[in-house]
Amino acid sequence: MADDKPDISQDARSYWMEAGYSPGGVIREVDYASQSGGLHPSLQGIKIVDTDTHILEYPDLFTKNAPAKYKDRVPQIKRINGVDRWIVCDRDFGSLGGNVIRADNNKLLGRLSFPTIEEGHPGAYQVKSRLQAMDDMGVYAQICFQNSGVTQAGSLMSLGDNDLAVTILKLYNDASLERQEESGQRIFTMAHLPIWDKAAMEAEARRVLDMGLKGIVLPDTPERLGLPSFLDDYWTALLELCNDRGAPLNFHLNAAIDPSGLTWKGFEFEQTLSVIATMYSIGNAATLGNWMVSGRLDQFPKLKIGLIESGMGWVPFAVEAMEHQFREMLPRMSKNLTRRPWEYFRDHFKVTYWFEKIAPKQLLETIGVNNVMFETDFPHPTSLYPGVQEHIVDTLGGYDYEVKKRVLERNAAELYNLPF
């Protein structure tokens, strides 16, 4: 029988689909002067927190501070067939990631990124340019996630040098702190951990929290990497640390499904990606359900979880479905599951919205004013650019000022323990 297990050593290289860098796409001309007016007058006094953005790992991020013995082995950028790619130990770790905002502020549609770093907006990786773009969009702070596949655990695990793999993530986390400080505490990048090494994982978690990073990124199904599930005691010390320190776990579009098998054969790249992207958002229901039925939320009642780049419109159906399943399937576990799904959701989870209009206008109070945050996904494909302030006013304009402030600022400030 053929081994159908995924080749996790290729996680970094396959993190972004190769076709997304091929010639094609359509440039959307942006009237930047009309889109760079900063905060809308009706939102004055609100420090908008954009809870899902991405930072390209800048070219010398790893080499700048690498130990001498690893200078030639840590990630470095090389241009291969016209595309900038990360190379680690002579292995291809994939492209630099998504950036569809061109250096002249126009936007590329139908592709994942410009193939070279120079073609894209410098705010994708330079702090000064990023802050200017934020000010123009009327955004005060951003929660940032990785952009390339360099931090992918499967590929790092397969390097055959554990110390090197751990060092790469430490360098990434150190650079995240440097960026946070350089930005004046406005850009907050989430930490990555060497999850394949329990002792190193726990040590790095303590280190990044002690030095001031605001949250941790985890995969929602570690079993795929050959690691124990979150039910296993392997994770208990980490969950306890996050519970006690109020540090959020982030599951960034990590829905516990693989939607690539759901699309029709014969689609072109743009057609396939359109369906896959939608399924990833809806698939967050699986991540939500896994935690609700696990008993871990009873064990760690202060654990905070962000479902990032998730959308929000699917939440009422998913939680209502879980309410039904709790009645029909889980009465035997009532001693371990002491709350109902809506209680688990409201006590532990926050979701994000960006493109949606129906959900923020009609479902916000049902989902919970305290459980929804705002995002743009800048500078990724399908990001809410341009028109950020216009969209906020359209979707939240019918609510009073305090509701706007809670969704746009306070929920994120509380989840990530931000200094304002």
Q: If we measure between CA atoms, which residue out of 271, 172, 183, 277 comes closest to residue 217? A: 172
- Measure the CA–CA gap between 58 and 279, rounded to whole angstroms: 30
Phi then psi dihedrals of residue 120, to 5 deg: -85, 170
Amino acid 2: pLDDT: 43
Sign of CA dihedral 388, 127, 57, 241: negative
Q: Do 25 and 109 meet the contact criterion of CB atoms below 8 Å apart?
A: yes
Tell me the per-residue pLDDT of 61-99, one tens digit each, with 9 for 90 and over. Answer: 999 999 999 999 999 999 999 999 999 999 999 999 999
Omega before 259 within 30 of 0, i.e. cis: no
Q: Is the torsion defined by CA of 20, 21, 24, 28 positive or negative?
A: positive
pLDDT score of 37: 96
For residue 53, the model assigns a pLDDT of: 98
- Please list the residues that pair with 249 across neighbouring strands: 216, 305
- Rounded to the nearest integer, the mean pLDDT of the chain is 95
Nearest Cα residue to 353 out of 337, 339, 332, 367: 367
Report pLDDT for 1. Answer: 36
- Intra-chain end-to-end CA distance of the chain, in Å: 57
Domains of the chain listed by start with CATH number: 10-415 (3.20.20.140)
CA pair distance 280, 288, nearest whole angstrom: 13
Residue 51 CA to residue 32 CA, distance in Å, equals: 23
Averages of pLDDT over each 10 residues, the chain, 420 residues: 67 91 95 96 98 96 96 97 96 96 97 96 97 98 96 95 98 98 98 98 98 97 96 98 98 81 93 92 94 98 97 98 96 92 98 98 98 98 96 98 98 98
Give the model's pLDDT for residue 377: 98
Percent of the chain at pLDDT exceeding 70:
99
Contact 252, 309 (CB under 8 A): yes
What is the C-alpha separation between 347 and 372, in angstroms, rounded?
Answer: 12
Q: Which two tokens stand for residue 270?
A: 């743009």
What is the chain's alpha carbon radius of gyration, rounded to the nearest angstrom? 21
User: pTM (2 decimals)?
Assistant: 0.96
